[in-house]
Amino acid sequence: MKIERFRKYNTRGIYAGQTLDNDLSMVVRAGNRIFMRGQTGLDLDQNMVGAEDAAVQADQAMQNVKVLLEEAGSSLEQICKVTTYITDRAYRVPVYSTVAKYLKDIATVGTGLVVKGLATPEMKVELDIEAVIPGESEHQKFRLFNTENWFNQAGVTRNSCMVVRTDDEIYLRGQTGATLDGSRNAGKGHLPEDAAAQADLAMQNARTLLAEAGASFDDICKLRVYIGDRAYREAVYQVLGKHLGDTYPCSTGLIMRGFARPEILFEIDMAIALGKGTPHQRYRKFDTDTEYRDGQKLGSKFCKAVRAGDRVYLRGQTGTSLEGEFTAHGDAGAQADQAMQNIKTLLEEAGSSLDNACKVTIYIADRAYRGPVYQAVGKYFKGVFPVGTGLIVDGFASPKILVEIDVDAVIQS
């Protein structure tokens, strides 16, 4: 597997008043897989456009996406998944309508989240794009639908789908408590049992969709679990544990400001690689009720790294050491350093290294942590040039966690 990095740059000078020093790329191509920096209202010369207009920012982001994909030998038609982060639900229709102009007839899966903030206060939208250049066969798309017919989302006309299958991976729409035909939503209140009901339906839906695409829970490598309130955590994870049993995926858990609709309390993203008869390797398996020391009974089984062929997926890393000791209370930079030490170790245990990192996603609880966190991360990725996405979220598994870091890697041959 060959890794190519396009439009390398350093963050020095891009963000006014922020003392960052990170070697990054705009695009990383690993074989046929395209990883892209989260795109915002910054143009490709790093000038901000539409400082007060979410639709203008989304349009600039999509212009960037088109150019960057073409430079990497891909195109808009090869996009598999779009994850849309907005800072206010009011931006949803203008942002999605703008994206639809570029992707109207290109069915992709998607996840939509409302976040606390982005890299700078004027940023209102960020788009994460995942694309795959077709290999032996064209991508298969399952359960096509039009967005405007999904819970009466008037004003957003775009073809979407529930699943995209490539030669090696499954891309699944972010699953919530909505039925697969969009006719109703489970758990219409805002209590933990409502979040659990939504998680249960989401997992039923995921099982159905994977089976239709010729996959199963055994192919799941990583979960990103989004909840609207930390009070839902125990109830939601008990449901996940019931469905996943001994699958042992790795995971990242985040508290999000909101979702597509106010009644959504829970959403889950899954990274799925097709095993094709060869089981994924799962490292450092653990039971949450033994591993976690916060008194919560989550009833789930996870691991800290998964290797699926050339791909390596990691559990989201925080200031907790791999032995379970939390370090650096109140110090976001030191927590990020511990997270990066963990990431280095886990990659090496999976037969990889920091040099194989393709994408880093950094979640922080406050924009004030951005400087120390990115400085800590930058030391480890000096000369590596992964792509990056940075988000400010409402929280993590515990209030003491200030930062969580996700890394996607592909082992070069």
DSSP string, 252-292: EEEE-SB-SSTT--EEEEEEEE--TTSPPEEES-EEHHHH-
**Superfamily of the domain at 32-134+141-161:** RutC-like (3.30.1330.40)
Distances (CA, A) of 222 to 54, 58, 146, 166, 219: 31, 28, 28, 17, 9
Structural fold of domain 1-30+346-413: 60s Ribosomal Protein L30; Chain: A; (3.30.1330)
Assign domain 174-315 one CATH number from 3.40.50.620, 3.40.50.2020, 3.30.1330.40, 3.40.50.720.
3.30.1330.40
Whether the CB-CB separation of 249 and 280 falls below 8 Å is answered with: no
Whether the CB-CB separation of 226 and 186 falls below 8 Å is answered with: no
The model's pLDDT over 34-88, given as tens digits with 9 standing for 90+, comes to: 999 999 999 999 999 998 899 999 999 999 999 999 999 999 999 999 999 999 9
Q: What is the pLDDT along the chain (413 residues), one digit of tens a residue?
A: 799 999 999 998 777 666 788 999 999 999 999 999 999 999 999 999 998 899 999 999 999 999 999 999 999 999 999 999 999 999 999 999 999 999 989 999 999 999 999 999 999 999 999 999 998 889 999 999 988 776 666 667 788 999 999 999 999 999 999 999 988 999 989 999 999 999 999 999 999 999 999 999 999 999 999 999 999 999 999 999 999 999 999 999 999 999 999 999 999 999 999 998 899 999 999 999 988 877 779 999 999 999 999 999 999 999 999 999 998 999 999 999 999 999 999 999 999 999 999 999 999 999 999 999 999 999 999 999 999 999 999 999 999 999 999 999 999 97
Instruction: In the chain, list all ranges with CATH 3.30.1330.40.
Output: 1-30+346-413, 32-134+141-161, 174-315
Give the predicted TM-score (pTM) of the model.
0.96
